[in-house]
Structure 1
Amino acid sequence: MKATSTHLTYCLLSQWHRAVAYAVSKITRTRPVAEMPFSVRFGVTGSVLALGFVMIFISPFDEVPLFREPCYPIFTKGLLSPFTGLLILGLCNEADPLARLAARGSLYWVGKLSLSMFLLALPVHIVVESVSGFPGLSLTFLGSLLAASVVGHFLIEIPSRKFADILSRTMAQRDHK
């Protein structure tokens, strides 16, 4: 196999290989960490610090001193985009210490349960508040939300994803006929 061209990006190294005269394949692998720019290598830490600073110290209702306009439109229309991009690049290559922490097993399962937690947070909060009488965030609510999320993940989310996969394969086969 002979590499015919090489394309370098910030995180990936793509190579086109020609195995035989009529077959060309593209192989993509992660670029070595030492070759990545510093901003990409530590993008997660920098982005978390910058986004955390904005969330803690700047209210969306504060006014920009020069323009006398609220900060909210400025942040939602692109000022935070570079930080979000660095966050995505840093999470993809797992070179940053925070990215490696986020890829650990326990946080991986929290990510798997995040959709169920998001969808069930309000119903579980209403039920726990009406049954126990504890308003707001309580250990009862957190435990109930975790239990409901695990049940919802295994009984609703996984079967619905399998059904969607079967349905998409069936539709693709029907389109090819």
Structure 2
Amino acid sequence: MSGKKAKDSLITMNELVLPNDTNTLNNLMGGRLLHWMDIAAAISAQRHSNRIVVTASVDNVSFKHPIKLGDVVTINAKVTRAFHTSVEVRLDVWAENIPSGTRIKSNEAYYTFVALNDEGKTVPVPELIPESDEEKALYDGALRRKQLRLILSGRMNPDDATELKALFNAAKQ
């Protein structure tokens, strides 16, 4: 199985915030944004793996700025690293008020997906080939993020998190 470039998984999804998407303050409901982010990330993961994927985890999502009724939401999603049967996808969310000409970054997050075959069994995914400095930095950090996710979910003993230990030990020196 040959590797694939990170840029080949890049997708951009746009949504217009309509009244049915908002809360009583005319801000986009967080759950609706998470739904859109999950769709965008899944498309990116599928593009990389050429498989059906399922969401395995969602990292912390902080809502930095409210997104208003009438704003255009742009979600950029791109695979940052492929592991054996899973991929990590980074998302950046922007809100644009077209009449005023303003655009703000509202959110960023990492989603993890697992690739499945037609019987619902996990299958290997292609290796990711990062090219730019930013892609290489995201790739390098992905193993630490994965170890942290596994520790927080109780699926990894903190003592086994070699990448995280190395990061903290380097910070002490």
> What is the TM-score normalised by the length of structure 2?
0.24
Per chain length, whose mean CA-contact separation is higher, i.e. which structure has more relative contact order (CA < 8 Å, sep 6+)?
2
> What is the TM-score normalised by the length of structure 1?
0.24
In our comparison, the structure showing a higher alpha carbon Rg is 1
